[in-house]
Amino acid sequence: MSCFGALQAIQFRISLRIGFAVAVAAGLSVSGCARLITPRIEDTVQLSHTATLIEEVKSFGKSLGIEPSPALSRTTQETQPLSMLWLWMQRAGTLALEGPIDVRLAIGFGTEKERLKIEQVYRVDGYSVYYRQGNEFADSRSVATIGFAAEPLMRRVMVVLHEDLHGDANFALPWEIEEGLVTPLGYLAAVAFFQQKNDQPGSTNALASLNEERRVSRELNGLVAEAMPIFKTLPIDAAKEKVLQQMIHYPTYRRQFERQILGQHPPTVLEAKLSHDLTYYRYFDRIAALAEQAADLKTLIADLKRLPADATLGSTEKYLSELSSRYMAAAS
């Protein structure tokens, strides 16, 4: 299969009048589609250490009831990498508050994201659009790259647990619900990993990361609550400007927003980025609070796995409330 074989497997048709173009840097032509770049000795050592870490993390995850998946179980020393380009599109002036984001698209490339530099996503008439690239995803074709091996330890541990949680043996829910559960559970499991190892610096760092993500969750939900009436009452361009101005009152989320859209146009990405982030962070703070109420993290994971495959946002909200009541009653 060629570098673009994955592209041919994706047929994307929308009956609405949508047009978009993705400009890819000229460096793609020298990406060495059929070749693996020979890593430096230090990169090889780092990849080997990361492979050992991944095995340890997956084994620990199983002790929490997280069944390991094939994701990240190999490295680029063993097989060709695959990177993904994800695009999210939301109708201008709207947010995906009560349902999934309007359009979600994934495109695979037979190379690491570091060698596939996306230059720009152009205007999409009537839609906000946000994109992100990554080498890590819940699929056997996701392998540990040199770039992943160079990531901070906390992120590597969390990502491995996050992608394993996505495995169907753990959760097989609608995307907008599953992502909202898996994201906080990945951080909570990472904290537990470092605590189990009696790694005090690692535990401190993991807890700090978890608490920052909880602040992101609270601030994002607050911003979305403010943004909804703004989009309903003002013209689209004026509404975008006002929502972006309101972000100053949510400093933790604002920093993350600006870091993650670097190189993208804030008014263009706004509705899609808020909707994307709401999927990941809608329940984050609530689930972290449930972890404090539950007997242990393994219990919480097992209880969340009982959500039915046809769960909706409404039924999930109700289930989380019921869990909280049950845990509080057990503690009293």
In the prediction, which pLDDT does 281 show?
Answer: 98
Q: What is the pTM (predicted TM-score) of this model?
A: 0.88
Contact 105, 130 (CB under 8 A): no
Q: Tell me the pLDDT tens digit for each residue of 255-270.
A: 999 999 999 999 999 9
What is d(CA 316, CA 308) in angstroms, rounded to the nearest whole number? 9
Q: Where are the alpha helices (DSSP H) in the chain?
A: 5-8, 41-63, 146-149, 153-165, 175-196, 200-233, 236-246, 251-260, 266-281, 284-293, 297-304, 313-331
Query: How far is the first Cα of the chain from the last one, in angstroms, to the nearest whole number?
Result: 60
Q: Tell me the pLDDT tens digit for each residue of 193-228.
A: 999 999 999 999 999 999 999 999 999 999 999 999
β-strand 118-121 against 103-109: which pairing, if any? Answer: unpaired
Structural domain boundaries in the chain:
5-331
In the prediction, which pLDDT does 17 show?
Answer: 39
Phi/psi-derived region of residue 317, left when phi > 0, alpha when psi is between -120 and 50, beta in every other case: alpha
Rounded mean pLDDT of 271-283?
Answer: 98
Residue 10 has pLDDT above 80, yes or no: no
Name the nearest CA neighbour of 321 among 289, 299, 296, 297: 289
Looking at the chain, the whole-number percentage of residues with pLDDT higher than 90 is: 79
Residue 124 has pLDDT above 60, yes or no: yes
Q: Tell me the pLDDT tens digit for each residue of 160-187.
A: 999 999 999 999 999 999 999 999 999 9
Residue 21 has pLDDT above 90, yes or no: no
In the prediction, which pLDDT does 204 show?
Answer: 98
Instruction: Give SS3 for 332.
Output: coil
Instruction: Give SS3 for 216.
Output: helix
Name the nearest CA neighbour of 202 among 152, 144, 148: 152
